[in-house]
Amino acid sequence: MPSTNQVPHLQTALKGPLLELEQHLLDNRTTIESWFRKQFKNTPAPFYASVDLRNAGYKLAPVDTNLFPAGFNNLHPDLRSLAVHAAQTAVTQDCPEADGVLIIPENHTRNMYYLENLCSLQHILEAAGYEVHIGSLIEDLNEPMKIDLPSGNCLTLKPLVRQADRIGVEGFFPCAVLLNNDLSGGRPEILEGVQQTLMPPLELGWADRYKTEHFAHYSDVTSIFAELIDIDPWLITPTSIACGPINFKERTGLEDLAKSVNQVMDETQKYYQTHEIDCKPFVIVKSDSGTYGMAIMSVNSPEDVLNLNRKQRNKMSSVKEGLQVEQMLVQEGVYTYETMEEAVAEPVAYMIGSQVIGGFYRVHTGKTATDNLNSPGMHFEPLSFEESCVLPDEQQNPDASPNRFYAYGVIARLALLAAAREIAEAKGQLPALAAI
Amino acid sequence: MPSTNQVPHLQTALKGPLLELEQHLLDNRTTIESWFRKQFKNTPAPFYASVDLRNAGYKLAPVDTNLFPAGFNNLHPDLRSLAVHAAQTAVTQDCPEADGVLIIPENHTRNMYYLENLCSLQHILEAAGYEVHIGSLIEDLNEPMKIDLPSGNCLTLKPLVRQADRIGVEGFFPCAVLLNNDLSGGRPEILEGVQQTLMPPLELGWADRYKTEHFAHYSDVTSIFAELIDIDPWLITPTSIACGPINFKERTGLEDLAKSVNQVMDETQKYYQTHEIDCKPFVIVKSDSGTYGMAIMSVNSPEDVLNLNRKQRNKMSSVKEGLQVEQMLVQEGVYTYETMEEAVAEPVAYMIGSQVIGGFYRVHTGKTATDNLNSPGMHFEPLSFEESCVLPDEQQNPDASPNRFYAYGVIARLALLAAAREIAEAKGQLPALAAI
């Protein structure tokens, strides 16, 4: 992992509005932190989350909120104690009596990046003072499987078993169960109706969750937040609409999709004019459920979706573990203007509970500012944030790294709050979002 | 501040038992963390504390627990985000609705070390997202006083005012009030009966608090803790008894004091024999209330206290801001065997809420292992802990710095728990200390 004091360069002809935004976030820090405290008191944050951000200079917005984050291995080791503290607080909040945590991971046994992430997560929870075992959903796993990792650590996956209404591994059925599996393949029967505390709840798996619902909550959150600190909510909110049902293989619904694309491009163009931004709007179309960037494309005009070739249509039909694509999220594309040695760098912020615990840049080579950076098979180099996102420095300019990281942390927590409200809604306990 | 990766060298002929102790703490980490969680759930930790430790190689024990800690400026800047997170949690615990914090400091306006501490504390709370002002008890302060600090920061002390049952500074009467004044001079009338949340409560000021009570609670705590992890509690507990009333100026009570010294020396000698420690016991005699190391002496025999000259007796009679010395704490002296380039190095651990947020060594030159290192006028060089106290590394030996710091953090939290129990007792809500 590159470890330097460098942070990506923000190169845009339109810095003004963003620096204004960053300065504005700094100036309103006390108001913002107080507001977040009250919001997360009303709607507790999920156990953890990572948020992919796009920094266009004139606009800073989330494009993906992952409630089953991987990538903990990419966080800077110096910031690990932050994660440990935050994990203590988050486990205590969700399950005060817990002495142990069972982690249920993805079934990837060959993806060393994922397994290093799992190992980091285990270490964080162990350092927080919990006994931790990993219970795997792999079907033919009959005994513990040890995996030696490139880092020199060793990971042990144990067969997940169920006893009455509890799940665990042999001799270990703790009251806290941490899902690090996004349930794209559906809700496994073994997890249904368990009496332990699942973090986050099953309802937040991709089998039940829709991106458009997340962004609808995000839009509610940012409209109140923007009022609080007096900014145009568009500066932090990607225009997002739902469209469907669509079947790419059978070419049904594509006309509707083209209309939606047109609508988002039109709206974006209007905002570009209002804010005097000399860019060409583009649109991201992705599956409304599922993850891993399989069914996703970047389009520059409504015609693009009408003229897809067979290969493109096949790609848009296949999502992870075979979820049917039916509804699409049509979202304003936000340019990525951060670069590291000419490679595009996309920030990802990590949270445990309501605390931002760090982040990293995905540094891509050979990609442009409009591409989706989380496409399958894409290689990226992680570049850890070397500083925390909680210590802005008012002596420095608003774009200095501690201040830019603070801005990331604010926008990421707005997405976190949207996720918290998804959880509250799934439980039928959604409180009003009052401006304070 | 020296900033190197060095940590003091632990030089003792008797490392065995300590390495055993450190290894034992590492081996029982999950049990220990779980126990602390339950204890601090039953008896909430004070807002903050610092604990002076002595590391004798064969024994690791606290000698002073400060509930109004200064020295936040001595903590390593890289660990500041830990303090920020912990402060968010601690303020939320004590005063969930707070948006602002009023700090009431000591009246020192010329001690730049103290003022730098105050500035660090203000920055930590501001970074945690609170509006912070400093309300000074200085009597003739009629308008805000700005003080430029050596660090380049500027501190503003404002006159503390009272309006009905609230205290504050002009236009700022927040519900959270942080005391950074140990009340050695008594409880100021302006603070009596206020309806805001005082952190920690007034009863914990030195006007009302006795060191012997703290160490009685500490002893209760360590007897249960030692049982939990199966060690001799003496390894982490200094023998401590109360003795008085004593008036050094009038030479009354000195015979009783000599007897107490004798008793502590005898008991210590027995433990030294049990543990095959080839050292000569010594005893620390200090005022049972008050702080700042004014009334304190190190003695090697009961005769020492009978043969004090006038100067020594005068010194023992004067404590900060004129508190009367009546009762003394007679405490087993714990040798300090950590050295940094031949200078004695004494660790101090800092906590906010129940979290250890860092620490530093007081590095003294020209002092021996038996001296009191917190004597008035003593100069020391702070050497920050560069690593947190929450991330032991089992791959390294038990005396490697992350592991030694973890041990410090455990012992410091035992003292913190004793302080939490003092607070609970002051409120009449002391729960049983159950082994779990």
Q: What is the pLDDT of residues B105-147, one digit of tens each?
A: 999 888 999 999 999 999 999 999 999 999 999 999 999 999 9
Contact B81 A388 (CB under 8 A): yes
Q: Are residues A28 and A102 in the same domain?
A: no
Closest by Cβ to B390, choosing from A30, A127, A391: A127
On the question of pLDDT at A176 being above 70, the answer is yes
Domain boundary among B204, B226, B260: B204
Q: Are residues B236 and B358 in the same domain?
A: yes
Q: Are residues B272 and B347 in the same domain?
A: yes
Q: Are residues A34 and A91 in the same domain?
A: no
Q: Is residue B74 part of a domain?
A: no
Q: What share of chain A is helix, strand, coil (3-state, %, to 5)?
A: 35, 25, 40
Distance CA A72, CA A80 (A): 9
Closest by Cβ to B86, choosing from A85, A96, A392: A85
Domain boundary among A175, A204, A233: A204
- Predicted confidence at residue A96, as pLDDT, reads 87
Confidence of residue A369 (pLDDT cuts 50, 70, 90): low
Q: Is residue B65 part of a domain?
A: yes
DSSP H helices, A65-133, are: 80-94, 112-127
Q: Is residue A1 part of a domain?
A: no
The model's pTM is: 0.88
Confidence of residue A133 (pLDDT cuts 50, 70, 90): very high
A79 touches chain B (CB under 8 A): yes
> Could you tell me if A371 and A284 are in contact, meaning their C-beta atoms sit under 8 angstroms apart?
no
Domain boundary among B157, B173, B204: B204
Confidence of residue A383 (pLDDT cuts 50, 70, 90): confident
Q: How many domains does chain A have?
A: 2
Q: Are residues A60 and A99 in the same domain?
A: no
Q: Are residues B27 and B165 in the same domain?
A: no
Residues of chain B with pLDDT under 70: 1-7, 10-18, 290-294, 318-325, 366-379, 435-436
Instruction: State ipTM.
Output: 0.82
- Which residues 391-420 on chain A approach chain B with CB closer than 8 angstroms? 391-392
- Predicted confidence at residue B398, as pLDDT, reads 81
Enumerate the residues of chain B whose CB falls inside 8 A of the CB of residue A34.
99, 129-130
Partners of A241 in the beta sheet? A330
Q: Are residues B158 and B233 in the same domain?
A: no
Contact B30 A82 (CB under 8 A): no
Partners of A346 in the beta sheet? A362
Closest by Cβ to B355, choosing from A85, A96, A130: A85
- Predicted confidence at residue A432, as pLDDT, reads 86
Cβ neighbours around A365 below 10 Å, total: 12
Closest-CA distance, B336 to chain A, in angstroms, reads: 28
Q: Is residue A2 part of a domain?
A: no
The residues near B82 (Cβ < 8 Å, ≥ 6 apart) are A81, A82, A85, B355, B357, B358, B388
Q: Are residues A55 and A86 in the same domain?
A: no
**SS3 per residue for B207-270:** CCCCHHHHHHHHHHHHHHHHHHHCCCHHHHCCCEEEECCCECCCCECHHHHHHHHHHHHHHHHH
Q: Are residues B263 and B402 in the same domain?
A: yes
Percent of chain A with pLDDT over 90: 60
Q: Is residue B16 part of a domain?
A: yes
- Which residues 343-402 on chain B approach chain A with CB closer than 8 angstroms? 355, 388, 390-392
Contact A130 B41 (CB under 8 A): no
Closest-CA distance, A348 to chain B, in angstroms, reads: 19
Enumerate the residues of chain A whose CB falls inside 8 A of the CB of residue B79.
81
Answer whether the bond into residue A233 is a cis peptide, omega within 30°.
no
Q: What is the CATH number of the domain that holds B148?
A: 3.40.50.11280
The residues near A226 (Cβ < 8 Å, ≥ 6 apart) are A232, A233, A235, A236
- State the DSSP H helix or E strand holding residue A62, giving kind and residue range, or none if neither: strand A60-66
Q: Are residues B141 and B286 in the same domain?
A: no
Q: Is residue A436 part of a domain?
A: no
Q: Is residue B333 part of a domain?
A: yes
AA letter at A1: M
User: pLDDT tens for residues B276-299?
Assistant: 888 899 999 988 876 555 678 899
The mean per-residue pLDDT over the stretch A252-271 comes to 95
B78 touches chain A (CB under 8 A): yes
Q: Are residues B308 and B234 in the same domain?
A: yes
Q: Which residue of A has its CA nearest to B95?
A: A37
A126 touches chain B (CB under 8 A): yes
> What domain range includes position B366?
9-69+208-426
Closest by Cβ to A82, choosing from B85, B126, B127: B85
Q: Are residues B290 and B216 in the same domain?
A: yes
Closest-CA distance, B57 to chain A, in angstroms, reads: 25
A154 touches chain B (CB under 8 A): no
Q: Is residue A248 part of a domain?
A: yes
B99 touches chain A (CB under 8 A): yes
**Maximum C-alpha span of chain A:** 63
On the question of pLDDT at A15 being above 90, the answer is no
